Amino acid sequence: MKVFLVFLSVLIFAACKDDDEVFNLLEVDVSEIELDADKTTGVFTITTDADSWEITNPATEWLSLSRTSGTGSIAMIMVTVDGKTPEVRSAELVINAGNAPPVTVTVTQLDSEFVYELTSNRTSLTIRRLGGSQTFDINTSAPEWSLEIEGDWINVDRRTGTESSVTITVSADGNESGAERKGKITIRAEYAPQRVVEVSQLALYPSYNISPPEPDMTGVERTASELAQDILIGWNIGNSLEVPSGETGWGNARTTQALIDAVQAAGFNAIRIPCAWNSYADQNTAEIDPNWLARVKEVVDYCINNDMFVIINTHWDGGWLEENPFYSKQDEINLKFTAFWEQIATYFRDYDERLLFAGTNEVRADYGIPTTEHITVQQSFNQNFVTTVRSTGGRNAYRNLIVQTYNTNIDHGINFHVMPEDNVENRLFAEVHYYDPYQFALQDSGSGIYTVWGESFIAADSDWWGQEDHVDRQFAKVKSKFVDNDIPVILGEYGAIHRSALTGEDYEAHKASREYYLEYVTRSAIQHGLIPFYWDNGHRGNNGFALFYRSNGNIFDQGALDALMRGANE
């Protein structure tokens, strides 16, 4: 009986001992962490009274923890995934601390449509009409990428790759399809957003030289030198038909027959009409607005009605040609230039020798010394002009044409100019402009302005350049290079601004010396075989050039007009 009681008491003692065992505290504030497509981190907190704790992480290849063990009573654990995943993935983190029952935290990362980055630095590119190439850059974190091309005319230097950064070259031949063509390049990588680069190419301009007639010398019999004998002095309708925004866009009245009648009555027997064409043309086809051609013809006819000589040219017109004598622009500009002159020359083909064409105006990259590139490209414009006009046939096969020196500068003409080839002899003029000294002729602000000109007007000890001897030297150089070689020269622009804001004796001295300048330059030009065309911009205010009121033809500056005529006729 005692044995049983002892055994029972042992059992009772043992049972009491198991029931009284104390477990360590282990608490985790979350049981699940869900990371969406744009979230790469999460946190949970461990609280325990155990001496140490430890986390088992079965997904170390994509899931990392800021800590996996420790001794502190409270620990905050940061969970970080290695990037996005195309499929949902989960891992169970098991936390152990002392003798506490393990706690599990489930980390789930949701799937992402895009796992990798994929970018392009271009969304569109344009290949030139004549053909050429463009580039774009691909940057990606994807292990490989590929290109899908839409447009059998588009060529790429490669279609697949594994580089994270690469430059792709896109090229095409000249577009002879007759219409603009468009295509695209789609850049793809698995689990990455696709990118698209639009590719376009305008068609080559259509030919406007349709069925040119046989060469016809009727009414255009005289050579350039013979014709030059009859052109005495000309006048520019400046700041009118060359204005990109419209004939009256720079403040001048619309040109009328009355104005041209007045110009002729004043003693001028030639008119130079600076013209814009690009501003009045379809930029896809280069077709000039027929209404604009008709308007230029209307003004030409005002001059022809008075038996005057007329020059039409390609003027500044926003600088599309004039400011781009660069190899990178040469082919594209010449394409458009050809299209324009095919239309202009065809439209005016039946006029007799009184109408002359001038190819360009002041083509320049800047106002410094030209490089070989600048000269080469500028002279390609001259050659293109002559070749294109001749190709239109009829009277244009013999019409006298005018080509320009670089920036119409005399010194650049002496140093660099080469006359273009022509399939007919002695039918080309050269053109230069003269605004020396700049400080007197054109400078309208800043320091160093010359308000007077001429040895009898400036101080005896003055170092002002560009006086009478300079005029004669410059024109003598032109005579030697061109005129003496049977190439007559148009002095297409010259003049000096009227500084009407001066007052008193300063104004009287300026006015007298300006009139002397106009007389002297005109006379010297004619004596050296140059045909002078005064630049009139129609501006009657301070620093203007106006001789006439454009609205009615009345004379505005009688003194300047008289000076020009003295120079031309004495």
Task: Say if residues 568 and 267 touch (Cβ distance below 8 Å).
Answer: yes
Residue 416: phi and psi, rounded to 5, are -125, -20
Burial class of residue 514 in the structure, from the number of CB atoms within 10 Å of its CB (0-12 exposed, 13-18 middle, 19+ buried): buried
Q: Which residues of 418-453 are buried (b: 16+ CB within 10 A; e: fewer)?
A: ebbebebeebbbbbbbbbbbebbbebeeeeeebbbb
CA atoms within 13 Å, Cβ hemisphere of 357: 31
CB half-sphere exposure, 539, CA atoms < 13 A: 16
**Catalytic pick among 322, 342, 353, 362:** 362
Strands (DSSP E) contained in 202-259 are 234-236
Q: Give the C-alpha separation, 415 to 365, whole Å.
A: 17
196: tokens are: 């698209």
Q: Point out which residues pair with 288 in neighbouring strands.
A: 281
DSSP for 178-202, please give it. Answer: SS-EEEEEEEE-TTS--EEEEEEEP
493 a catalytic residue: yes
Q: What is the residue whose two structure tokens read 């065992």?
A: 21
Strand order in the sheet with 195-201: 124-127, 195-201, 181-188, 145-150, 160-161
Other Cβ atoms within 10 Å of 286 Cβ, number: 22
Active site residue 362: yes
Say which DSSP state 319 is in.
G
Q: How many CB atoms lie within 10 A of CB 417?
A: 22
- Out of 242, 322, 493, 515, which one is annotated catalytic? 493
For the annotated catalytic residues, the residue numbers are: 362, 493
